[in-house]
Amino acid sequence: MPVPEGFPHAFQLVYRREPRELVVDYEFPTEEVVPATRSYKYVQTREETDAKPRPPKEIKALYASVLAQTALKVLRYAFSVKAPEVLDRVVFNGFVQSADPATGRPSKPYLLAVSSDRETFDSLVLSDLDPVTCVKQQLGARVSPHPGDHEPVRPMVDFEALLEQFRFVDGVDAPTDLDGRTDLLELSANEFEHLVRQLFEGIGMQSWVTQASKDDGVDAVATNEDPIVGGLCVIQAKRYSRAVGVAAVRELAGTMEDKHASKGIMVTTSWVTKGGHDHARRHGRMQIIEYDNLIHMLKAHLGMDVIISLPKKPPPR
């Protein structure tokens, strides 16, 4: 997507499989991108060139057009990929790098926010329309009334909040495919550890300490500071494609006793055998999170769509 030399075009993307949506966070140039001089005139008698300044009203109109044209160009580029089963809507949020006039601190006010589905955008005749009129009237964009003064509008999607759903703590990012669906069985043991940690911190755990692991699972100790239901919790993560037997549940119970934990949680990408469930029920302070519950919890607490490609269908409960 070529742009003029020196034209800012930094951006970030987040793809959401449902509802087949691409969210673009795009950096606009500031108003200085519009030349302050409208034209030049050579005066032969003086052998000099005089510059004719561009009126402020014209600068503002041209800058508004630049923002609208940039938004339409990004939408066109995204929809040029003819895959409606993958991408049906594009959300564009355009901002400038600025300084907060109240504090002087760096800020990124949004000047134009617009979204369009594929059918609506494909109906546009880009060569004949007016960009500003199109984004405002046809696409319903939110446009700053004074973009040169960096007067902000509300973005269509809170990009930073959306990005947090796909970010692991300590800078470890969730590995995702283009369609946003991660196969948990393809994660490394370390990646699965970060995923489980992120899940429980999202639920409300206050701290996390990993313990030495003997297999692909990760033993962990977390705390919940709730005065009623809180306390020390031992979590054991099993990235398995086969059944987790009663021995693993007994091992978790032993770790609970060793750590004087108030609760124990078994998290597995597969399922726990009947004997394991029976042992957990008799113990009374244990919880088991299996493949389907894990998928649901990741969606509910982290907004992540994942799959678990088990080679064998788990038995009915």
- Mean pLDDT check: name the lowest of 123-137, 151-165, 209-223, 267-281: 209-223
Pair 117, 214 in one domain: no
pLDDT at 156 over 80: yes
Which of 163, 197, 215 is the last residue before a domain boundary?
163
pLDDT score for 211: 55
Domain annotation covers residue 23: yes
CA dist 302 to 107, 239, 305, 309, Å? 27, 19, 9, 20
Is residue 269, in this structure, part of any structural domain at all? yes
Asked if residue 197 and residue 139 are part of one domain, the reply reads no
Which pLDDT value is given to residue 195? 84
Count of domains for the chain = 2
Averaged confidence pLDDT in the chain: 84
Q: Is residue 3 part of a domain?
A: no
What pLDDT score does 303 carry?
83
Boundary-marking domain end, from 135, 163, 191: 163
In the chain, the percentage of residues whose pLDDT exceeds 90 is 48
What would the DSSP string read from start to end of 247-262? Answer: HHHHHHHHHHHHHT-S
In this prediction, residues 130-151 reach a mean pLDDT of: 94
Of 15-29, 65-79, 118-132, 264-278, least confident by mean pLDDT is 15-29
Residue 313: inside a domain, yes or no? no
pLDDT band at 102 (very low <50, low <70, confident <90, very high): confident
What does the pLDDT read at residue 173? 42
Instruction: Give the pLDDT confidence of 2-54 residue by residue, as tens digits.
Output: 667 667 778 888 887 777 889 999 999 999 999 999 999 999 988 899 999 99
Rounded to whole angstroms, what are the CA distances from 153 to 93, 94, 114, 206, 217? 10, 10, 11, 35, 47
Domain stop point among 128, 163, 198: 163
When pLDDT is cut at 50, 70 and 90, the band that residue 178 belongs to is very low
Q: How far apart are CA 15 and CA 20, in angstroms?
A: 8
Altogether, the residues listed in the chain come to a count of 317
Predicted TM-score (pTM) of the model is 0.53
pLDDT at 217: 43
Tell me, yes or no, whether 70 lies in a domain.
yes
Are 104 and 39 found together in one domain?
yes
Do 17 and 152 share a domain, yes or no?
Answer: yes
Q: How confident is the model at residue 249 (pLDDT cuts 50, 70, 90)?
A: very high
Residue 176 has pLDDT above 50, yes or no: no
**Given this model, what pLDDT does residue 179 score?**
44
- Angle at 193 (CA atoms; ends 257, 86), nearest 5 degrees: 140
Report pLDDT digits (tens) over 201-229: 888 776 566 654 444 444 566 666 555 55
Please tell me whether residues 198 and 237 are part of one structural domain.
yes
> What pLDDT sits at residue 197?
82
pLDDT in the model for residue 72: 97
Residues 141 and 276 in one domain: no
- 183 & 151 share domain: no
Is residue 78 within 8 A of residue 24, CB to CB? The reply is: yes
The boundaries of the domain holding residue 85 are: 11-163
Q: Give the SS3 label for residue 33.
A: helix
Which tokens is 126 given? 């880009």
pLDDT at 180 over 70: no
Q: Does some domain include residue 315?
A: no
Question: Can you give the pLDDT at residue 215?
Answer: 46
Among 5-9, 77-81, 122-126, 205-209, the range scoring the smallest mean pLDDT is: 205-209
pLDDT at 71: 96
Q: Assess whether 27 and 140 both reside in one domain.
A: yes
Question: Which of the residue ranges 24-28, 118-122, 156-160, 305-309 would you say has the lowest mean pLDDT?
Answer: 156-160
Q: The domain that contains 202 carries what CATH number? A: 3.40.1350.10
Looking at the structure, tell me whether residues 176 and 155 fall in a common domain.
Answer: no
* 177 and 140 both lie in a single domain: no
Confidence at residue 210, expressed as pLDDT on a 0 to 100 scale: 63
Q: 177 and 284 share a domain? A: yes
| DSSP assigned state of 173 | B
Confirm whether 317 is domain-assigned. Answer: no
Confidence check: pLDDT of 167 > 50: no
* Residue 316 domain flag: no
Same domain, 272 and 295: yes
